[in-house]
């Protein structure tokens, strides 16, 4: 992969999420960066009422601001016994500055005493691709069904992964590790649907490829 390969900005500051998506894109010759590589990236207000709405906000606003192709996702877990909560509030379930540990602790508290058959849940992921003008060019949605354990298992992944059990494997995403997660997760399912569109658009649309002369990209590649 060279500097002439098309660049796709993954619209997240979460390094683990960035790595997950970058590994899925690497075989297609697409370079990736995350918002950590752009000092002036926006802090997009996620005030949409669905995963799809929030993913679109993050992709379109960031793409227009950076003058780059941006792939953004919004994801979270919906718990049956909590009527779909935390849902779109998964990342801030325990408060605006909550850590993964805070969110997991609160979720366990709310599910305390429930038997396995009442701990059903599903991970959702909506991904949106926006071109450098901020126009939405592709979208996809993925779901992974499972249930929540009563305690943490495994050290892989992030978010609710140490609690989320893929029932067929009798293991949490925290135990299964990145290779299995790349095949089974909600994010992997959404990415499989959108990948052909990403590859086609970035490799065959020269009139709207990454603007390498943009101030955003210059700052991203400048020495710190």
pLDDT digits 0-9 by tens, 119-150: 999 999 999 999 999 999 999 999 999 999 99
The CA distances from residue 150 to 135, 137, 153, 197, 201, in Å, are: 43, 41, 9, 39, 44
- Taking each helix axis from N to C terminus, what angle separates 173-184 and 186-204, rounded to the nearest 10 degrees? 40
pLDDT digits 0-9 by tens, 97-121: 999 999 999 999 999 999 999 999 9
Residue from 37, 73, 74, 131 carrying the catalytic annotation: 74
Residue 194 CA, distance from chain mean position: 13
Residue 77 phi, psi dihedral angles, 5° rounding: -115, 135
74 catalytic? Reply is yes
219 has pLDDT over 80: no
- In angstroms, the CA 62 to CA 156 distance is 29
Q: How confident is the model at residue 213 (pLDDT cuts 50, 70, 90)?
A: very low
Domains present along the chain, CATH in parentheses: 7-221 (3.90.950.10)
């Amino acid at each position: 992969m060279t500097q002439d390969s098309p660049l796709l900005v993954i619209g997240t500051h979460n390094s683990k999420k960035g790595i997950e998506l970058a590994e899925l894109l690497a075989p297609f010759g697409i370079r990736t960066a995350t918002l950590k590589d752009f000092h002036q990236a926006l802090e997009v207000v996620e005030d949409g009422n669905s995963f799809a709405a929030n993913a679109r906000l993050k992709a379109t606003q960031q793409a227009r601001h950076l003058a780059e192709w941006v792939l953004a996702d919004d994801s979270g877990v919906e718990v049956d016994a909590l009527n779909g909560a935390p849902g779109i509030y998964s990342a801030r379930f325990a408060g605006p500055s909550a850590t993964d540990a805070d969110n997991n602790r609160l979720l366990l508290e709310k599910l305390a005493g429930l038997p396995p058959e009442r701990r059903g849940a599903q991970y959702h992921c909506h991904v949106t691709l926006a071109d450098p003008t901020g126009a939405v060019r592709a979208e996809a949605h993925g779901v992974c069904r499972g249930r929540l354990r009563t305690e943490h298992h495994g050290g892989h992944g992030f978010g609710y992964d140490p609690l989320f059990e893929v029932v067929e494997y009798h293991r949490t995403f925290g135990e299964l590790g990145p290779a299995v997660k790349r095949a089974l997760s909600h994010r992997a399912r959404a990415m499989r649907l959108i990948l052909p569109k990403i590859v086609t658009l970035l490799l065959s649309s020269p009139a709207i490829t990454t603007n390498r002369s943009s101030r955003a990209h210059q700052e991203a590649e400048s020495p710190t």
